[in-house]
Amino acid sequence: MTEPDLTPPSAEPSVATSTSDAFTALDWIGVGLNAVAAAVLFAFPFVVAPMFTRTFTDFGAKSALPAITRVAMTPWPALALGLMVSTLSVMVGVLRGPDTIAIRRGLVAVGFFVGAIGIVVLLYAMYAPVFDLAGKIKAD
């Protein structure tokens, strides 16, 4: 028969980490936004770019597109940005420990800004011919 543990509860070591070392709900919301940004970037060359390609082909201006638009119409920039954002988010989950909270939060912030700026630049690239055409219209 084993003897009962008579150690008082206050003397037991604490397993829980302090709140400053733990990821908060806001941190996880950032990770979720990074996942959405990565999904948008992965879908961009297969959903958004083909629609713009058909539109530019219908206008007959596919050869006269700005360089940023021609680059954005290839799948590689969006896929590379999506891979970068998703890699940063995965690193957040891999790096565990009380000393890594600042690094993990930094990775969430960098991933968010890379994803947001990437989406904005890709959308600007798709609309650049439209902006160029609008700039050439002169009122009489």
pLDDT at 110: 96
pLDDT for 35-45, tens place per residue?
999 999 999 99
pLDDT at 109: 95
- Fill in the amino acid letter for 103: I
Cα–Cα distance for residue pair 14/11, rounded to 1 Å: 9
- Residue written as tokens 């006269």? 64
pLDDT means per 10 residues, the chain with 140 residues, are 67 51 86 96 95 85 82 94 95 84 92 97 93 77
With 0.75 as the threshold, say if the pTM is over it.
yes
Q: Where exactly are the structural domains of the chain? A: 35-134
pLDDT at 95: 85
Q: Is 30 left (phi over 0), alpha (psi -120 to 50) or beta?
A: alpha
pLDDT at 16: 47
